Amino acid sequence: THTHTQHAMFRKELGAGPQHAVKGSEGRRLCRQLMATYPSLGESQLKVLLPKETMLTTQRLPNRTHLYSCDGVPLFLAIDTEAKDAELVPTLYLLHQAPQMVTAVQIYDGVGKKLCGGADLFMPGVVMHEASESVGTSWVVKNFGRFEKGALRAIVEEGSWAPVAIGRWTVSSSDLELQGPTGKGLEIVHCVGDKLWEAGPQRIPLRPTVDPAAVLQQHTQRAAEQAAEAEAAAAEEARRQREEARARRLDDLPKIIRRKRKTLRLAQELQERVQAGLAVVAEPAQQDRLARP
């Protein structure tokens, strides 16, 4: 799998090719893709992480992977670049600046050393705030939400905010319910101390560049604004449809008036025949017309 290959790849020398500057249009496309893939990465935060005056560079790695860096700091990988839409995966350096980008899985203190030593993450090392015997909503959903196999997660030790590794779920949430809180949970893609980490400054900042809580608040506000816009658009569409229906009824009004007038004349003619003592036998077409509303 890609994850195993990436983990093994970053345990040894990267085998990176020469650096090339990324064109402005390509850099803007990558930024748009990053924000689309990771919606909680705010545009203002991205501008801080990738200011216009800095140059984004790229290097080819083995296994159809490209590494993108800024000022010598590896920021993200493009995996399976031969595919139509290569997957963009942040490095720990980018997660240390924008930790809210990727949902975190919390591990017990000391487990990080084993991960950085080459181990994958097994479920007994994962902190769970809801026991597996909890009643009602699935214990998996309560602890980790719903996810698909291969979903990316940041891995953070108790008492720390900075991820020590990035991994992928080896099972889906529904499979984990059947498996129980045992066995392998996540395969490690990248961790502190591997060769990808060594390609950067090898420092964990005291705090993120931009307050992640503020970015999440902006993201929530933007989502609320988008929901309000969608609701307003739906209301406008419903109003437009009502207006169109009303216009159609107005277009049909002359026909309705003419039909009513004919029915009224027919009724008057029949009444006059009754008053004159003549036999009244309405033809089928007349009976049908008189029966119409």
Q: DSSP letter at 85?
A: S
Q: Rounded to two decimals, what is the model's pTM?
A: 0.69
pLDDT at 172: 95
H or E element: which one contains 157?
strand 152-157
On the question of pLDDT at 1 being above 50, the answer is no
Q: Which of 218, 219, 96, 220 is nearest to 162 (CA)?
A: 96
User: d(Cα 229, Cα 241) in Å, to the nearest integer?
Assistant: 18
Neighbours of 124 (CB within 10 A): 12
Mean pLDDT of 40-57: 82
End-to-end CA distance of the chain: 72
User: d(Cα 206, Cα 162) in Å, to the nearest integer?
Assistant: 9
Is the CB of residue 260 less than 8 Å from the CB of residue 254?
Answer: no
pLDDT at 18: 87
Is the CB of residue 196 less than 8 Å from the CB of residue 190?
Answer: yes
Provide the pairing of β-strand 152-157 with 104-107: parallel
pLDDT tens readout for residues 233-267: 788 888 888 888 888 777 777 888 888 788 888 77
Q: Which residues pair with 57 in a beta bridge?
A: 21, 69
Of the ranges 59-63, 120-124, 145-149, 275-279, which one carries the lowest mean pLDDT score?
A: 275-279
Backbone conformation region of residue 4, classed left if phi is above 0, alpha if psi is from -120 to 50, else beta? alpha
3-state secondary structure of 160: coil
